[in-house]
Amino acid sequence: MIKRFMREYLRFAPRLMAEWFAQTILGGVDGPIGMLLRRYCYLSFIGKTKGRFFIWSRVSIQHGYGLSIGSDVCINSGCVLDARGVLSIGDRSLIGPNCTIVSSTHRIDSHPISDAGHEKAPTVIESDVWIGANVVILGGIRVAHGCVIGAGSIVTKSTTPYGIYVGNPARLIRMREAL
């Protein structure tokens, strides 16, 4: 497992070191000071940013070199963002507390599973999306512009713009009025 990790990710070592270091030091700092420090120091390992962004405390960003964050994005506390397969978050999108958003999955067709490696699957959260608390978004999903995802939902399929989705698996319950 360690050998496979080294083979796949050695070229990202400087970025990964910056990511581990910055999050260890600053990840748990509460309040506006923590938010401000993270906004500047996390630039050392996040792949692409566009403007202001707000990352609350205890957010875990994994493989941040694959993460792209639009302007005025807010990521609430306790979220886990896996960007190894590329994760893009559009302008003004809000991610509630304790969400898990992934862009990869373990390969499940070979044994042992610990050596099977990852299947990468780019995930996109478009702009002006609100994701409620405790949502899980699987790899390869596109959450379309203007959507709302209800608390506790598990999103297994891409969504339609301005839809409100809830449940496990997340289903469309109604549409928001488009701008």
**What does residue 137 show for φ and ψ, rounded to 5 degrees?**
-120, 120
The yes-or-no answer on residue 106 being catalytic is yes
Give whichever of 138 and 164 is closer to ligand COA, judged by the CB atom.
164
User: Which residues does residue 54 pair with via DSSP β-bridges, in sequence order?
Assistant: 74
| Nearest-angstrom CA–CA distance, 69 and 2 | 29
Least spacing, CB of residue 106 vs ligand COA, in Å: 27
| Nearest-angstrom CA–CA distance, 79 and 56 | 9
| Nearest-angstrom CA–CA distance, 164 and 174 | 5
Least spacing, CB of residue 69 vs ligand COA, in Å: 17
Give whichever of 76 and 104 is closer to ligand COA, judged by the CB atom.
76
Least spacing, CB of residue 150 vs ligand COA, in Å: 3
Catalytic, out of 63, 106, 118, 145: 106
Alpha helices in 27-79 (DSSP H): 31-41
Residues lying near ligand COA in the complex (CB under 6 A) are found at 76, 96, 132-133, 148, 150-153, 164, 166-167, 173
Least spacing, CB of residue 49 vs ligand COA, in Å: 22
Sequence-distant (6+) residues with CB within 8 A of 10 are none
| 125 membership: H or E segment, kind and range | strand 123-125
Give whichever of 49 and 134 is closer to ligand COA, judged by the CB atom.
134
Sheet containing 136-137: which strands, arranged edge to edge? 60-62, 80-82, 100-101, 136-137, 154-155
Give whichever of 39 and 176 is closer to ligand COA, judged by the CB atom.
176
**What does residue 41 show for φ and ψ, rounded to 5 degrees?**
-75, -30
Catalytic residues: 106
